Amino acid sequence: MNHNQRNSRAGDARTRKHGRANEPGHGGLQGRGRTQRAGAAGSTRAQKPRVDRVRLAAYDILRDVDDRDAYANLLLPSVIKKHRFNVRDAGFLTELVAGTLRLRGRYNAIIALAAERNWQQIDARTLRVLQLAAHQIFATRVAHHAAIYESVELQRLVANKKAAGFVNGVLRTLTRTPLEGWLERIRKQEISEDAKLAQIHSHPEWVVRALREAQQLNLRAGDIDTARLLEANNETPRVNLALLPRSGVSREELIVLADSLSYTDAEEAGGREAEKAAEAAGGGQTENAAGAVTGKTPSEAADAAEGVLAESEYSPCGLELRGGNPARLIEGLELPPGTLRVQDQGSQLAALALARAGESGSAEKWLDLCAGPGGKTALLAAEAEATGAKLWANEAQQHRAKLVTEAVCGYQDIVTVTNADGRDDAAYSGQMFERIMVDAPCTGLGALRRRPEARWRKQSAELPQLVKLQEQLLDKAVTKLKPGGYLAYVTCSPHPAETRGVLKRTLKRHSDMVELDTLEVLNRVTGKPLTQTGKTLSVQLWPDKHGTDAMFISLLQKVVPEDENTGRKQKNHQPENEIRLKSEPRAARETKTVVD
C-alpha cells in the first residue's frame, strides 16, 4: 500500500464519519455544471462548496485508482456516460485524469519545493487536489485563477476544509514560476542523476535505471537518449488499428471510406464533427464554463485536415487514427466484426514476425500460448487462414480466455481456444506445433504511455517471479515445438532481465534451439526498414524511435536432427537465404536493404 492509499483511506474514513459522501454524485445537488455534496445531516451553519463536476469526477477517479486499484481507462467511459458529459467536458476529464496520473511524480517534486515540505507528509486527499491543480497550471491552457479557485473549492468539499488556505498558498506559489523554472530547481538539487530524471520525467527511479540499461544493451552510444524515452512515455500515443483480410477492403479503400462518411456518420463514428464545434469558437480551442480550454491544438487540427486514417509506418496491415473515438469509428464503418481492431503496431509486428518466418507449409499447427486478450491471436488467425494452418490459442485466466474467443469470432473454423496454465500439458491439447508464440507475462514497462497509473503500481520486487515464469513457459513450449519449427519470444518490456537475460539462459538450456535474425524477417514484412532496433539478433522497438510500444521480439528455431541413415539433416522448409544466423554483426546487417 503506497502513501496515497494509506493517508487517503484514513482521511476518507474521517470524512464518512462526519457524513460527507465520497462517491460521485452521492448526496450531491447538480446544476449549472457544479456539484454540491451534502454535509452532516441537518447542518445549515455554512454554505457548502460548489465544485465543477468535471474536476470532481477527476478527483473521484484518482481516488479510486489509489484506494481500490481501479484502472482509469475502465472508469473513464462509465463516468462520462453517468454524468452525460459533452465532448469538451469528456476530453477535459480524460486529460485531467490521464495527465495527472502520468505526471504525478513530477508534480509531487514541484509541490514539495513550493510547500517546503516532503510531499509524503501531505494528506493524500489534499495531495490529489494539488496534483490536479498542478496539471491544469502547467499542462493545459486553463486560466491560473480558475485552476486555483476551483481547486480550493474542491479541497473544501473532499478533504480538510482547514487546509484550503494551504492549498491556495501552494498553488499561488506554483503560478509565480513557469514549469521550466521548477524543473531547473530539480536539476540543481543534490540528488543522483537517476533521481533527477525520475522527478523531471515522472517515473519511479528503478524504472529509469531499467530503461537506461535496456538502451545501453540494445543501442549504440550515440543513439541513447534516456530523457527522450522517458518523455515519450508521457506523450499520449496515437491509436493504431489492425485491418484483417476478412474485412473485404484494402487499407487504401478504408482510408477513403473513413473520409467519405456523412456528417451524421462522422459524428457517431469518429466524434470528429462534434469536436469541430469546439474548434469553431476560438481557433481550435474552446473554454468551457469552468475555465478549461478544450478542443484541438493546431497540430491536431492539421492531422484532422489530412484525414481520419493513415497507413501505419511499419505494419503492412496497420492504420493510424488521427482523431476521434476508435470504437465509434469501427462501428460506423460497418465492417465484418473483429476485422478492424485497435492494436499497437509493435504487437502487429510481433505476430507477423512469427507468421512470416521461413516458408509456411500446408496444414501447419500454430499455438499462441499466452493469448489473452486476443489481439495478436486474431492477427495470427488471419495469417494462418491464408496459409492453410490451424491455430490453437491458450490463456491461463478464464475471463481473458473469453476475450480471446470474442477476438477470433470470425475464425472459429480454424481456431481452438483453451484455458490452462501454459506450463501444463493441457495448454497444448496433445499437439506438436510448427509455430509457437510465447507472449509472456511481464512488467509491461514497454506500455507505460498507454496505462498512466501502471508505472506507480509496478515494483522491482516482482521481477524475479516474472522471470522465473517466463523461463518456465519457454522451457515447456520448446518441448512442444517440432524440429524446424519457429518460436517467437515476445514481451511488452525492454527490461534486460526479461529479454536478453531470459533468452540467454533458455538457449543455454536448450542446445537444439538457435536464435534467428529477427530484424531480417521483419524487414521483409514492414513497409520500410526498421533501424535502431538493437545490437543483437533480437529486435527491441522503442516509443521514441518507432512510435510503438517498447516490444521485444526474438525468433528462435529448433534445429532439425540428423537423419540416422544418411547422417544428413532432414529437409527443412526454411530457404537458405530467408533467415541469416549468427554470421555477421548487426552493425553490418543494418546497412543492407533486404529485398524479396
d(CA 301, CA 298): 5
**Got the DSSP string for 249-284?**
S-HHHHHHHHHT--HHHHHHHT-HHHHHHHHHTTTT
Q: How many CA atoms lie within 13 A of 367 on its CB side?
A: 32
Pull the grid cell for residue 303.
Answer: 492531422
Confidence band (pLDDT; 50, 70, 90) for 533?
A: confident
* pLDDT tens digit sequence for 442-481: 999 999 998 899 999 999 999 999 999 999 999 999 999 9
Cβ–Cβ < 8 Å for 97, 56: no
Q: How many CA atoms lie within 13 A of 304 on its CB side?
A: 20
Pull the grid cell for residue 138.
Answer: 502547467
Query: Any idea what DSSP says for residue 466?
Result: H
Burial 327-362 (b: 16+ CB within 10 A, else e): ebbbebbebeebbbbebbbbbbbbbbbbbbbbebee
d(CA 19, CA 99): 31
pLDDT over 50 at 409, yes or no: yes
> Residue 413 contacts by C-beta under 8 Å, 6 or more apart in sequence?
none
User: What does the domain layout of the chain look like in residue ranges?
Assistant: 3-184, 239-341, 345-589
Cβ–Cβ < 8 Å for 89, 54: yes
d(CA 585, CA 287): 56
Homologous superfamily (CATH) of 3-184 is NusB-like (1.10.940.10)
Q: Looking at per-residue confidence, does 510 or 222 come out higher?
A: 510
What's the pLDDT score for residue 549? 97
Any idea which residue has 512488467 for its cell?
443
Domain 345-589 sits in CATH at 3.40.50.150
Angle at 296 between CA 290 and CA 297, to 5 degrees: 105
| Mean pLDDT score, 393-415 | 96
What is the end-to-end Cα distance of the chain in Å, rounded? 54
Cβ–Cβ < 8 Å for 441, 472: no
Active site residues: 492
What's phi and psi for 556, nearest 5 deg?
-120, 155
Pull the grid cell for residue 278.
Answer: 469546439
* pLDDT tens digit sequence for 254-289: 999 998 874 344 444 444 433 333 332 223 333 333
Query: Any idea what DSSP says for residue 497?
Result: T
* pLDDT tens digit sequence for 14-33: 443 333 333 333 333 233 35
What's the pLDDT score for residue 287? 37
d(CA 294, CA 87): 9
Identify which of 490, 464, 466 has the alpha carbon closest to the alpha carbon of residue 477: 490
3-184 against 345-589: fold identical: no
Highest mean pLDDT pick, 36-50, 70-84, 571-585? 70-84
What value does the mean pLDDT of the chain take? 84
What's the pLDDT score for residue 362? 83
Beta bridge partners, 286, equal 294
d(CA 11, CA 117): 19
Longest CA–CA span in the chain (Å) reads 98
| Mean pLDDT score, 221-244 | 95
What's the pLDDT score for residue 578? 38
pTM, entire model: 0.82
| Mean pLDDT score, 150-159 | 97
pLDDT over 50 at 60, yes or no: yes
Pull the grid cell for residue 400.
Answer: 481473458
Phi-psi region of 118 (alpha: psi -120 to 50; beta: other; left: phi over 0): beta
* Residue % of the chain over a pLDDT of 90: 71
